[in-house]
Amino acid sequence: MSSYRDLEIYKLSKELAIKVHKMTLSLPKFEMYEEGSQIRRSSKAIASAIVEGYGRSRYKAEYIKYLTYAHAECDETILHLEFLFETESLKDKEFFDEAYASYDQLGRKINKYTQWVEENWNEPRTSNPVTRTS
């Protein structure tokens, strides 16, 4: 893997964030700036956390931390979807069902990838310090 762009979780999170962004443009005006803003930020934060974590992937603990943030943002996005649907600001049940299922699946994939990193990611070895003899 040569880039975060190769990660399935990145591709899926970005695709979903774009769909959510477009959906929020059709929300009632009062929701566009309230719950719409919240769901746009949380959905985009998933991809952002994956990218930032990958940038720190030299350090296993840092990488895992950012993958954990991505998973939390995924859960938050599901909550905002539920709020929008249950308050009837989002009336498109088909969109809700698809988005809910996709974010649920993404959360499972992030969790599975995090477990893989925990078990398999090797931090680079630091070189031995140069010692001087006097």
Residue-range domain boundaries for the chain = 4-119
Write phi, then psi, for 59 (nearest 5 degrees). Answer: -110, 105
Contact between 56 and 63 (Cβ < 8 Å) = yes
pLDDT band at residue 124 using 50, 70 and 90 as cut-offs: low
pLDDT at 109 over 70: yes
Could you tell me which of 108, 111, 96, 87 has the C-alpha nearest to residue 20? 96
What confidence tens digit (pLDDT) does each residue in 26-62 have? Answer: 999 999 889 999 999 999 999 999 999 999 999 999 9
Name the CATH superfamily for 4-119: 23S rRNA-intervening sequence (1.20.1440.60)
pLDDT at 5 over 60: yes
What confidence tens digit (pLDDT) does each residue in 57-97 have? Answer: 999 999 999 999 999 999 999 999 999 999 999 999 999 99
| Predicted pLDDT of residue 125 | 41
Contact between 66 and 49 (Cβ < 8 Å) = yes
CA distance 117 to 115: 5
Locate all alpha helices (DSSP H) within the chain, ordered by sequence.
Answer: 8-24, 29-32, 35-55, 60-86, 93-120
pLDDT at 133 over 50: no
pLDDT at 132 over 50: no
CA distance 24 to 34: 10
HSE-up of 117 (CA within 13 Å, CB side)? 24
